[in-house]
Amino acid sequence: MTAPTIFVTCHCRAHRIPIHLDASALPHPVDFCHCLACRQSTGAPFGCYMLIPHPLFPPPGNPLRSADAASATEEAVPYVYLPEGVKAYKSSETGTRYFCATCGCHLGIVFLEDRKWSSVPIGALEFVRTTTLSHASTAASDDPDSAAITSTVSTTVSAAAASKEQEIQAVESTYTISWHQYLSETVDGGITRLLPDGLARWAVEPDDAPFVTPMAAGPLNAQFRATSAGETLTARCRCGGVRARILRPSAIPSGPGAKERGSADGQRWLSGHCFCTDCRLTSGFPVTSWTYVGREHLTFEGETLVYYKSSEGVKRGFCGTCGATITWDGGQKTVDVSTALFEKEQSEAVAAVEEDWTYLEDEPSYPADARDRVLVEALTKGMRENAGKGR
């Protein structure tokens, strides 16, 4: 088996970092991590990283091999050698995350105890393969069977420009989504309640206690319902540099946003999950969860919100300190806010808070852009079964 040529890249293309994998070890098992640090630092409903056997940012002109990295100083791998335009954020006592300072896409994470290794977000992976393509001469017809086809050249093509099936096959030959972990930090399973994917679910890490959803037997029990179900909800990134204050639709019932995306009882906002390529490459993760809030019901606070123009008429906001995806703004009546950043008390359940403030679309956005079959198929099924209800 030949290992594909892989890069970690971002939406603005400021960074394109080569990744070197051992073909004999593919596909790599990867997990969906639901810990609070992953959700708050990324703005995604879970983190998902693939381990690579070398530093993400080796010293310029002297790339470290994994064997060298084991004896290198903690400072040298990889903290000193950050490329221009990459920001680092220490999201926990042992973990440091890296993201693009321009578009906000996460590029990697390194833990001190495993400093000879790095992990990269699966949504930021770009696959490049060498493919033999037939090209016609200037006199050739468009008929692929025509005798006018006179030459064949070997051309390197990006999977993004090839068929979606080819890209999916590249994904599946590189990593396999294998389990969910740190579900205890969600209390009720969070987004996994919409994911009938059959994967193992762990309270903390694999081979620890399995996670048991407290509400599996029926509707949310009162003890797991949101206890802060007031008239204002705060969405907050990991570092606290950006905070979004959200009012219920009923607070300003005449607002255009409330009429368009508010629930009939005025208590909830429409929410959904997006697989579009722009979301993936501005976050680094395969899916982004959004709540659509009336513009007049939303206030941003803090000094670290950075905007990036991802397409014509669209700007995306992320925290310039910790890199969390915060918002999507297309100049419409509503503004998207990252659902993963909803604040809760330690004892509150993630899905319960979301249920109290949102109701769900009936299917994900841009499923055709998705590269992870297990995820998109499970989430589509889960959303259809729960459409119109809070999670």
For residues 18 and 47, membership in a common domain is answered with yes
For residues 190 and 331, membership in a common domain is answered with yes
Residue burial 45-80, b: 16+ Cβ < 10 Å; e: rest: bbbbbbebbbbbbbeeeeebeeebbeebeeebbbbe
Contacts of 223 (CB under 8 A, 6+ apart): none
Token output for 343: 């604040």
For residues 173 and 189, membership in a common domain is answered with no
Look at residues 183, 220, 218 and name the one whose alpha carbon lies nearest to residue 354: 220
Tell me whether residue 138 is in a domain.
Answer: no
For residues 71 and 35, membership in a common domain is answered with yes
**251: helix, coil or strand?**
helix
Q: How far apart, in whole angstroms, are the C-alpha atoms of residue 122 and residue 8?
A: 9
Q: Which of 145, 177, 209 is the last residue of a domain?
A: 177
Residue 345's pLDDT is what? 79
Residue 144's pLDDT is what? 39
Tell me whether residue 172 is in a domain.
Answer: yes
Number of domains the chain contains: 2
Task: Tell me whether residue 312 is exposed, middle or buried, using C-beta atoms within 10 angstroms of its C-beta: 0 to 12, 13 to 18, 19 or more.
Answer: exposed
Q: Which of 141, 157, 177 is the last residue of a domain?
A: 177
For residues 19 and 39, membership in a common domain is answered with yes
Place of tokens 């996670």: 211
Tell me whether residue 268 is in a domain.
Answer: yes
For residues 360 and 228, membership in a common domain is answered with yes
Token output for 124: 């930021």
For residues 210 and 311, membership in a common domain is answered with yes
**DSSP state letter for 262:** B
Helix (H) or strand (E) holding 266: none
**CATH code assigned at 375:** 2.170.150.70
For residues 229 and 103, membership in a common domain is answered with no
For residue 316, the enclosing domain spans 185-386
Tell me whether residue 262 is in a domain.
Answer: yes
Q: First and final CA of the chain: distance in angstroms?
A: 42
**pLDDT in single tens digits along all 391 residues of the chain:** 455 579 999 999 999 999 999 889 999 999 999 999 999 999 999 999 999 988 887 655 544 444 344 444 434 334 456 889 999 999 998 889 999 999 999 999 998 765 567 899 999 999 985 333 333 323 333 443 333 222 222 233 344 445 788 899 999 999 999 999 999 999 999 999 999 999 999 999 998 899 987 754 344 444 444 444 468 999 999 999 999 999 999 999 999 999 999 999 999 999 999 999 999 999 999 999 999 999 999 999 999 999 999 999 999 999 999 999 999 999 999 999 999 999 987 778 898 899 999 999 999 999 999 999 999 999 999 999 998 764 3
For residues 372 and 241, membership in a common domain is answered with yes
The sign of the torsion formed by the CA atoms of 378, 384, 385, 387 equals positive
Tell me whether residue 142 is in a domain.
Answer: no
Q: In this structure, which long-range contacts are made by residues 96-101, counting pairs with CB atoms below 8 Å and at least 24 apart in sequence? A: 97/41, 97/42, 97/322, 97/323, 98/56, 98/57, 99/284, 99/318, 99/323, 100/10, 100/11, 100/12, 100/14, 100/15, 101/306, 101/320
For residues 226 and 169, membership in a common domain is answered with no
Cα Rg for the chain, rounded, in angstroms?
A: 22
For residues 382 and 239, membership in a common domain is answered with yes
Residue 48's pLDDT is what? 98
| Other beta carbons less than 10 A from residue 12's beta carbon | 18
Residue 329's pLDDT is what? 98
Place of tokens 């909803």: 342
Tell me whether residue 319 is in a domain.
Answer: yes
The β-bridge relationship of strands 200-201 and 175-181 is parallel
Tell me whether residue 158 is in a domain.
Answer: no
DSSP β-bridge partners for residue 308: 316
**Chain centroid offset of residue 235 CA:** 17
Query: Measuring CA to CA, how many Å separate 367 from each of 32, 370, 372, 373, 374?
Result: 19, 5, 10, 10, 12
Tell me whether residue 252 is in a domain.
Answer: yes
Residue 3's pLDDT is what? 55
Q: Which of 177, 197, 212 is the last residue of a domain?
A: 177
For residues 253 and 273, membership in a common domain is answered with yes
